[in-house]
Amino acid sequence: MVQMSSWVSIWDQATNYIKYHDIGINLHERLYKFLVDFAKLQKEAFIAQKRLCEKHLSDAQKYFGVSNSYVSFFNELVQIVQHIVDAENLISCSFEIHAGSEGKSIIEDERRQLKRWKNERSKLSNELKSQTRIIDDEIKRYRDKYRDMIKAKEDYERINADQSHSQFDVEKALNYARLKEIDFERARKDYSAALNQFNLYRQDYYFRCLPSWAQVGKSLEVERYARTQSLINILYERLRVAIDRMNNVCDEFKSVCTHLNSDQDSKEIIEYLQSNNPPPGDIAFVDLYSSAVNNSTIPSTVKQSTYAKPQRTNSSEPIYSSGSVVLPSNFHCSVWAADNAALESSKQCGGNNNNDNNNYVPSSSTSIGDSIYGESASIYSASYASTTSTNGLHNGGVGVGSNCSRRPSVSDNYSASNLRNPSMPINGAGFLRRIFSRRSRICHVSVVE
């Protein structure tokens, strides 16, 4: 507690003391403004954080199609963060409530009290100035009376010393000097009384009025500090509640990962993704070397070509793509060879093998397993020569010698076959060409040794 006498030492610093209290109220107002601005920012952040948490809530059915512990963990974590945000928002709401409207009214009340306190100081100052003017007037009157008395005495002595003046003039000057002396004595008494009164007032002003006024300012400061402490105590209670909630959230945050179960998630996804389709079986081994050895042991005098029976795992695979079929040495996979083979086959079959629909029907004397190549020698030399000669006739007499590198076309082969065998049906040649062409898409072929 500050003693009253302590304020006497600042008797000449009253203006600075008023400024001190004015700055204190401004700082108090700044405190409330800080809390309000902080609450506004926290509120904006709270809204953004709540939207963020709502945005990141996930649906396991949407991502995986089944329930998932990791998605549950993630959603639980987001909810815990929401609890943290709610706990923080409790503090900001307390700041906004107690520092908003209440703070504004408190600051207005403090400014009214400060203004009243300043007015009291102004009254004391004006009273002191009034007393100072009174004593100044008494001092001036006292001095004026003294000068008049001195002048009257000097005039009396001058007239009394001068023999030219009458006795009446001397008595008159004496009476005037005595009158001025009486006025001076009266002025001196008035000045003495006024001075004593002024000294008493000034002593009362500096030792009682001014300390009392300063003590009022001290009470305003105490009240301001008490309001600040009350505000902090209220915010402390709100903060303690928020911390209790935070402690609960910490426990939840610590146990959030206990629900993760990778085994259960694996079982769920297996049950969701499983199908009744069995996995593919083993692939059969293809021994190319054995097929090559068997092909090399075939006698060259045998008229019929021998084929190894292919073992293919996929029935839809073409016979030439697997590499398991052993082809004869005089076989050429081309459209031109197929056309010539059709011509030779027509010669061997002979006659007209067309049915009623003008379609070619193979001869019954030729078995399915027999080779279509009639002789062991290559059938392409004679056919190619005859075909090229025929092409030469069709091309304006230009034979093999003119362009031996030109490959006969299908239309040329067909024209040559008509010249050699007019009874050759159209559909028979096309049928054999499709069978022996490498472009064939026939999947099942049975070859008999």
Q: Which helix (H) or strand (E) holds 76?
A: helix 69-99
Residues 61 and 164 in one domain: yes
Summarised one tens digit per residue, pLDDT across range 285-344 is 888 877 666 666 544 444 444 444 444 444 444 444 444 445 454 444 555 555 555 555
The stretches of 205-314 forming alpha helices (DSSP H) are 210-254, 262-273, 288-296
The answer to the question of residue 280 being in a domain is no
Cα–Cα distance list, 448 to 305, 307, 435 (Å):
10, 7, 16
Q: For the beta carbon of residue 254, count every other beta carbon within 10 angstroms.
A: 10
Residues 112 and 215 in one domain: yes
CATH of the domain at 248: 1.20.1270.60
Q: By residue range, what is the domain housing residue 52?
A: 4-267
Question: Which of the residues in the chain have pLDDT under 50?
Answer: 298-325, 327, 329-332, 349-426, 439-449
The answer to the question of residue 444 being in a domain is no
Summarised one tens digit per residue, pLDDT across range 360-383 is 444 444 444 444 444 444 444 444
Out of 233, 267, 301, a domain closes at 267
The answer to the question of residue 449 being in a domain is no
Spatial separation of the C-alpha atoms in residues 277 and 313, rounded to whole Å: 19
Q: If 0-12 CB within 10 Å is exposed, 13-18 middle and 19+ buried, where does residue 413 land?
A: buried
Please report where in the chains the tokens 């009034």 appear, as a residue: 130
The answer to the question of residue 447 being in a domain is no
Residues 88 and 51 in one domain: yes
Residues 234 and 359 in one domain: no
- Identify the pLDDT of residue 334: 54
CB-based contact 300:329 (threshold 8 Å): no
How many domains is the chain built from?
2
Residues 318 and 425 in one domain: yes
Residues 240 and 362 in one domain: no
Residues 256 and 350 in one domain: no
Residues 338 and 240 in one domain: no
The answer to the question of residue 218 being in a domain is yes
Please report where in the chains the tokens 């279509």 appear, as a residue: 372
Out of 237, 267, 297, a domain closes at 267
- Identify the pLDDT of residue 324: 47
Out of 267, 298, 332, a domain closes at 267
Residues 257 and 125 in one domain: yes
Structure tokens at 284: 């059969």
Share of the chain above pLDDT 90, in %: 24
Q: For the beta carbon of residue 121, count every other beta carbon within 10 angstroms.
A: 19
Residues 35 and 149 in one domain: yes
